[in-house]
Homo-oligomer: A and B are copies of this chain.
Amino acid sequence: MNNTFAIGIDIGGTNTDMGLVRNDGKIMARKNLPTGAYTELEPYVRDIMGCVKALMDENSVAAIEGIGIGAPNGNFYTGCVDNAPNLTIKGVLNFEEEIHKYMDVPVLLSNDANAAAYGELVYGAAKGLDHFIMFTLGTGVGSGVVVDGKLVHGSTGGAGELGHNILVPHGRQCSCGRQGCLEAYTSARGIVKTFCDLRHDTPNYDGALKDVADAEVTSKMIGDAANAGDTLAIKTYEMTGDWLGLAMANAVTFSAPEAIFLMGGPANVGEPLLRPLRAAFDKYLLNIYQGSVDVRVSSLASNVVAILGAAALLKMPR
């Protein structure tokens, strides 16, 4: 069988990662651009397309199936990025139109978490599953929902924003302007807040992070401290796991999935998060679903899944 190729692009606030993806899911080569250096779409896409051309030329690939893009607020229906707060290029960005000035291939966009879910379906451990949900933990909390083997986009293209499910009514302030969202508790920032709040309430705390200022603490540091036995760090991930387990149990009442996947930095902390998460999930799960849902960490490395997921968008039934 002849191989085919596609380009997968993961647009983040800081970096733009591009990869040439073979149809079997192997990333043949990668390029990178600093997203934050751009304030206009035209030069940004010009440079992206320079990288795409180089990826093809350097690997003797004459034709690609298309370009898939995972981006914050990426809209599958319109091919646009709609006013993404984390991007330095503002407004409604029509990537499809702009890319077509350079190359006449299919261009598909979706938000980054949806793309990750689709990457897991096409290339990862979700292969063959009809119903699953992906939670991505990072600066924010994203999600992608697969129902009947298809990614749910909804009527607007904006489906799968479970990070903004209100978990605790009138709870913590969220960056979206509302209160109590899952993201306010289980994003990297939320985890740091939980730790700093606990530390503030524990004047005799004498652990590994005692001399790190609030603004310098990262969820990774807390994860390392938890794995090294730090009591407050362990407590932080216990609380995080409890919130996330509740959110996952709630999500099950919607689509009764076979599995829930988790990815992103905080998910890589391992047992300090996963043990309380699984306990909470079991505790909060409605009896009729008991035993029917697997909770697991994504099978794909997070620097791989974003590119694979973006490329996988091209394989989505339309």
From B130, B131, B167, B255, contact of A169 by CB (8 A): B167
* Cross-chain contact B177 with A155 (CB below 8 angstroms): no
- A286 interface residue, CB < 8 Å from B? yes
* Cross-chain contact B286 with A176 (CB below 8 angstroms): yes
- A303 interface residue, CB < 8 Å from B? no
* Cross-chain contact B253 with A164 (CB below 8 angstroms): yes
* Cross-chain contact A131 with B154 (CB below 8 angstroms): yes
Residue of B nearest to A162 (CB): B253
- Alpha-carbon distance A155/B260, docked complex (angstroms): 12
- A292 interface residue, CB < 8 Å from B? yes
- A284 interface residue, CB < 8 Å from B? yes
* Cross-chain contact A177 with B284 (CB below 8 angstroms): no
* Cross-chain contact A162 with B246 (CB below 8 angstroms): no
A3 neighbours in B (Cβ, 8 Å): none
Given A160-B254, A178-B284, A254-B159, A246:B166 Cβ within 8 A: yes
- Alpha-carbon distance A153/B130, docked complex (angstroms): 11
CB distance from A182 to the nearest CB of B (A): 9
Copies in the complex: 2
Contact size range, A: 35 or more
- A279 interface residue, CB < 8 Å from B? no
- A165 interface residue, CB < 8 Å from B? yes
Given A246-B169, A256-B156, A256-B158, A286:B178 Cβ within 8 A: yes
From B161, B254, B257, B287, contact of A286 by CB (8 A): B161
- A157 interface residue, CB < 8 Å from B? yes
* Cross-chain contact B145 with A255 (CB below 8 angstroms): yes
- A103 interface residue, CB < 8 Å from B? no
* Cross-chain contact A256 with B288 (CB below 8 angstroms): no
Residue of B nearest to A247 (CB): B166
A165 neighbours in B (Cβ, 8 Å): 250, 253-254
- Alpha-carbon distance A284/B167, docked complex (angstroms): 12
- A65 interface residue, CB < 8 Å from B? no
- A28 interface residue, CB < 8 Å from B? no
- Alpha-carbon distance A246/B121, docked complex (angstroms): 31
* Cross-chain contact A166 with B255 (CB below 8 angstroms): no
Residues 130-164 of chain A: 1 if any B CB is under 8 Å from the residue's CB, otherwise 0?
A: 11000000000000010110101111111111101
- A37 interface residue, CB < 8 Å from B? no
Query: Which parts of A200-254 form the interface with B (CB within 8 Å)?
Result: 246, 249-251, 253-254
Q: List 23 A-B contacts (CB under 8 A).
A: A131-B159, A147-B147, A147-B154, A148-B152, A152-B254, A153-B256, A154-B257, A156-B288, A158-B289, A158-B292, A159-B254, A160-B253, A161-B253, A161-B286, A162-B254, A164-B253, A165-B250, A166-B284, A167-B169, A168-B169, A178-B286, A251-B254, A254-B255
Residues of chain A whose beta carbon lies under 8 Å from any beta carbon of chain B: 73, 82, 130-131, 145, 147-148, 150, 152-162, 164-169, 176-178, 246, 249-251, 253-258, 284, 286-289, 292
For the complex of A and B, 9 pairs with smallest distance between CB atoms: A154-B256, A159-B256, A155-B258, A161-B253, A131-B155, A164-B286, A158-B256, A165-B250, A156-B256
